[in-house]
A and B are shown apart, each in its own frame.
Chain A
Amino acid sequence: MSLEELIHNCKRGDRSAQEQLYRNYAKILFGICLKYSRNKTEAEDNLHDSFMTIYDKIGQYKFKGSFEGWIKRITVNTVLQKYRKEEYLKVVTDNVTEEPEIHSEYLDIELPTLLRYIQELPNKYRLTFNMYVLDGFTHKEISEQLGTSEGTSKSNLARARMILKERIKKENINIA
């Protein structure tokens, strides 16, 4: 079944097509959810909600632009929607723009460990770091999505980097 057929069938509410769509994309979207969520359980919840939204809104997909990009955006939005109201995402803007450096030996740190460091960041730092560093959002886009200013977004990113650096240094002292 081509992607186009699959989407058409999903629009009709065909359950086997919906399952096929899930099988094709769950891996990618769960990766996003894990990065943006605080832990695996929340990531699973967010994946569930994202797919429900995708099935609900798939009729709005007009085959303009990549389908994968479209469902990724829905997933990111679903997660953001969940967290952005949870706490006040703004912080006092300070001009910390330096990108902290770490020893290249730290590149050997296992992926699950790096993921855990991200998940343990406070919401505002985690979302900003993910959006900017991993998903290529600009500070303008991030500030719009999170309802903050660009300055706040930059500050949040800098804080996220600092916290990550500290965690990496502290917990991997024997590597370096």
Chain B
Amino acid sequence: MKKENIDKLYQEKLKNFNEVPDERVWKAISTSLDKKKKSRPIIPIWWKLGGVAAILAILLSIFIPFESDQNTNQIITDVESAPSLDNSRINDIENILPADNKEDGNSVVNSSDAKKDTANPIPVSDVNSPANELQDIENTIVTSSEKTNSKTEQNTDNSTTPDPETAITSVRSEYTPSEIRKDEDAKIMKEERNTEIAANINTTVKDPAVIDSENNISKNNLQKDTPLKETAIANGVSNLSEEKEEEDQKSDMGKKSIFEEIEKSKETEVAQSNSNKWSVGPSIAPVYFNSFGNGSPIHSNFVSNSKSGNVNLSYGLMVSYDISKKLSIRSGLHKVDYGYDTNEISFSASLTASTSDQIDNINYVPTSKNLVVRNMEDSKLSEQASSMEFTAQSPARDGRMIQDFGYLELPLEINYALLDRKFGINVIGGLSSLFLVNNSVVLEANGNTVEMGEANNINDVNLSTNIGFGLNYKFSPTLQFNLEPMFKYQLNTFSETSGDFQPYSIGVYTGLNFKF
């Protein structure tokens, strides 16, 4: 007897297998295209408005970062205004749903029945239950306005119910009951998803968020799904006894379908709208600050002292907009602290400290007015001179002078993708505006610190030029991880410095980026 392998059998029969799909598929596609067409002019406007709002929020938070009381009041006002908007939307729905119902007749009834059938399975022993369900759902739709408001009332008026048997008799069954259950779940999830995605463009219903999912009935979706639901109902009637046995299996399948559809809805949203150009995400970085040159921004006495940069933290939020596939522009808001130490400092408290001993570039705090801060070398010379007069032990302490300054950083950077795959490489360049929020000079010796004051030659607004490269890894189309070593050269940190002091910072920014 001749033997054949499975592959050959299937290749011969199924390699070029074609089948004409049911006409309802084109109707559904056509409906989806209609929705999409209408949604196009609306969605980008919302994204643009959202973007403008984000920029405004950033700007406002820069200029009034500490006026929290006022901000809180504004937020409360917003919250109060929201419900009134919702009510107006609900009123829209109240007016619309009954009208749709009249137009759609049986299709509304059948589809909604299928939806409810899945949500609240019919007791399998009740042979008449599908028909009853149909009537109930019809009532629910007619009185949807009441449900929208209270969600608890069910109208018992059956007067407008079309004969459900008409739909049931038109059934053509091709599936086993378990398949139907499973498919039905998927369909219903999909229907809800479609409604939500396209809700903005629905000519009648304006906002899906306001509508209870049971009332989420789209005329268009109903057209697509109606025949399937009819099939479901027919099988529900004819195979009720089988359903009992498959109850457990059905619930498993239902669960699977929900996850499947959640995944699918995410993918479809991404695929159907090319508008996910905006992305936002937090970032955090260790930042090393130091300077080129040996100058000192504090005083010419400290030009020869060694300086050492400090590592501080920068954190904030990045907002990015994709100009093209490779090019994006980004901004955001970061809090960043910089600091460096001037080493080999000697300081002492002196009752005779006169204004001539004070450093002009520092506004002393009252408690440190008597401090005399010197370069250690100068201090020794001074001590030698004064030892002629005093034999007491020198009160001077040796230590370092720590200058810290914190900024709110508003970057504006261009990001060019050299490699844009799951793993991406970018070149980043741009400018940052830095707004001074923290400024202090502290003296430290043997673990003790003394606050000295604040520098008065630090500009309130500072610019830096930024360059760096970014590495990113895309966990999903909407979520990526970034690692960006950046070099920032500051242009005008200090209004006057002694010697050559050109500050820079190096930071390795890590963060997540969510596309929306």
Least Cβ–Cβ distance between B450 and chain A, in angstroms: 60
Q: How far is the CA of A26 from the CA of B15 in the complex (A)?
A: 16
Whether A13 lies near B37 (C-beta < 8 A) is: yes
Whether A161 lies near B21 (C-beta < 8 A) is: no
Partner of B14 from A39, A85, A114 at Cβ < 8 Å: A114
| Given A44-B22, A104-B2; A19-B272 close (CB under 8 Å) | no
Q: How far is the CA of A53 from the CA of B13 in the complex (A)?
A: 28
Whether A161 lies near B6 (C-beta < 8 A) is: yes
Chain A: residues with CB nearer than 8 A to chain B? 13, 15, 18-19, 22, 26-28, 30-31, 34-35, 38-45, 47-49, 51-53, 55-56, 81-82, 85-87, 99-107, 109, 111, 114-115, 118, 129, 133-134, 161, 164-165, 168
Chain B: residues with CB nearer than 8 A to chain A? 1-7, 9-22, 24-26, 28-30, 32-33, 36-37, 174-175, 179-180, 182-183, 186-187, 190, 224, 228, 256, 259-260, 263-264, 267-268, 271-272, 274
Partner of B29 from A43, A51, A168 at Cβ < 8 Å: A51
B17 surroundings in chain A (CB, below 8 A): 31, 34-35, 111, 115
| Given A56-B271, A101-B5, A103-B4; A82-B264 close (CB under 8 Å) | yes
A85 surroundings in chain B (CB, below 8 A): 260, 263
A27 surroundings in chain B (CB, below 8 A): 18-21
Q: Inter-chain contact count A-B, CB under 8 Å? A: 146
Q: How far is the CA of A36 from the CA of B14 in the complex (A)?
A: 12
B37 surroundings in chain A (CB, below 8 A): 13
B15 surroundings in chain A (CB, below 8 A): 134
Whether A30 lies near B10 (C-beta < 8 A) is: no
A86 surroundings in chain B (CB, below 8 A): 256, 259-260, 263
Q: How far is the CA of A13 from the CA of B37 in the complex (A)?
A: 9
Q: How far is the CA of A13 from the CA of B30 in the complex (A)?
A: 12
Least Cβ–Cβ distance between B32 and chain A, in angstroms: 6
Whether A165 lies near B6 (C-beta < 8 A) is: yes
Whether B1 lies near A133 (C-beta < 8 A) is: no
Whether B5 lies near A41 (C-beta < 8 A) is: no
Whether B179 lies near A41 (C-beta < 8 A) is: yes
Whether A111 lies near B13 (C-beta < 8 A) is: yes
Q: How far is the CA of A40 from the CA of B268 in the complex (A)?
A: 20
B179 surroundings in chain A (CB, below 8 A): 38-39, 41
Could you write out 7 A-B pairs with CB less than 8 Å apart? Answer: A28-B18, A38-B179, A82-B264, A85-B260, A103-B4, A111-B17, A114-B9
B186 surroundings in chain A (CB, below 8 A): 41-42, 45
Whether A15 lies near B3 (C-beta < 8 A) is: no
- Given A40-B175, A51-B29, A100-B5, 19 more A-B residue pairs with CB atoms under 8 Å apart are A18-B33, A22-B26, A22-B29, A30-B21, A31-B18, A41-B228, A43-B21, A44-B24, A49-B268, A86-B256, A86-B259, A101-B6, A102-B5, A103-B1, A104-B1, A104-B4, A111-B14, A114-B13, A133-B7
Whether B20 lies near A15 (C-beta < 8 A) is: no
Closest to B37 in A: A13
Closest to B31 in A: A48
Q: How far is the CA of A49 from the CA of B33 in the complex (A)?
A: 11
Whether A26 lies near B11 (C-beta < 8 A) is: no
Whether A115 lies near B14 (C-beta < 8 A) is: yes
Q: How far is the CA of A120 from the CA of B7 in the complex (A)?
A: 17
